[in-house]
Amino acid sequence: MTLTIPFDNSYARLPDAFYARQAPVPVRAPQLIAFNADLARLLDIAPGDVHELAETFAGNAIPAGAEPLAQLYSGHQFGNYNPQLGDGRAVLLGETVGTDGVRRDIQLKGSGPTPFSRQGDGRAWLGPVLREYVVSEAMHALGIPTTRALAAVETGEVVLREGPMPGAVLTRVARSHLRVGTFQVFAARGQIESLRRLTEYAIARHYSKAEGPMGLLRAVRDAQAQLIASWMSVGFIHGVMNTDNCSVAGETIDYGPCAFMDSYHPNTVYSSIDRAGRYAYSNQPDIAVWNVAQLATALIQQMEDKEAAVEEATEIVHAMPDLLQRNWMARFQAKIGLTTTRDEDSELISDLLVRMAQNHADFTNTFRALGTDKARDQFIDPMAFDGWAEGWQARLAHEETPTQVMHAANPVFIPRNHRVEQMIEAAVQGDYTPFHRLNSVLGQPFLDRPDNADLTRPPSQSEVVQATFCGT
């Protein structure tokens, strides 16, 4: 018996050029690690027993109505164009329309090789699966658009990376898996009819009010501008903002070497493969603009009047930095308790961030502590905070409910890198207690929970995570 999932698969009805039909490759001994019952209810999935869940979300049992496929796309990776990528270790089972009326993909990640695997094994090991489960669900709880985790399953098989690792499969849910790179592959190949079909599909699925390719470009720009500003506001660093990891739906996707900052510095990089700092924390807005420009270049290829299209697309893309800055400002104003706008606000926020960087202040804890007498304790030199706070307190005199505004904008808990690494180390030894604890606490990130105060502590010197890895 297999799980009942109400599939309605629109992507599978597109031409064969968009994907390769591919079933997941069964695994030896699937064991369920986690199942997201709240998300399942949203997807209108009838719950099954543990055995059914493990078999289904390992890829051993294909639910009725599923049409498994691996999607085609290309993309710029660290600025260099790769003409063909595609789902090399993932299979889209199909789509459901949830109880909220939203269509979403259900994808198995780590489900075996596909025609796009480029000689990889198509598998994932336990660490990255648990990292994506925890961080994506934490992002959802923070109110940031993101793919989500429906299930995690051990495979009972060994995956070879830097050594033998326990294998696992993640079930990922997304509003779609359309990427900037999905458009790039057809544009680069000169397959204009496929590009038109994809554009129409994306508009119908995500932005029904958009008019034509430039309307789609404008909608994606706006969604990305909101998304990146939200990342910046919680100190999130994606780590690998390639165009194949840039969602047209405006969701955070592909949690490979992702990380949240501990002590604040604008040039912070964690990703082990980002040696030049292309995707450093402070570079993320500029990279988002660059990615949207690549989408514009692809979309233009289907336009009859290319000169006019270039002019319009240029105007749309050039407006993005100001849009990003406005979104960023609104979020950081809230983080310091402001709901109104004054000319001096930008300088006030920038001054705080400079002082935080100079004093190695913890990003999350400093903002959460604003409005108490503990914020200054985050600074090596507390006088540096005091020098800023005088002007800030004067500014707050014009606000009605600054403390409530700050508490709604500044989380208590984030998935700190050292806690995620400790969770993975425990899970590899068969102990999932830290994994379940993180999911529980991070599910309510704005709630003060003194009994879990240890999860707010920055890493000791020996606990600092120097680099994060894609690892799957």
Token code pair at residue 209: 């009010």
Amino acid, res. 392 = W
105, 244, 262, 274: the catalytic one is 244
State yes or no: is 49 an active-site residue: no
CA–CA separation, 104 and 183 (whole Å): 19
**Structural tokens at position 289:** 């603009």
Rg over alpha carbons for the chain, rounded to the nearest Å, is 22
CB atoms within 10 A of CB 108: 28
Quote the tokens at residue 254.
């592909």
CA angle, 4 then 443 then 205, to 5°: 50
Maximum Cα–Cα distance across the chain: 66
Spatial separation of the C-alpha atoms in residues 271 and 465, rounded to whole Å: 11
The three-state secondary structure class of 358 is: helix
3-state secondary structure of 225: helix
**Angle at CA 24, nearest 5°, toward 22 and 30?**
180
Distances (CA, A) of 322 to 148, 326, 419: 30, 6, 36
CA distance 141 to 414: 10
Distance between CA atoms of residues 32 and 427, nearest Å: 13
> Per the structure block, which two tokens stand in for 273?
């493969």
Point out the residues that are catalytic: 244
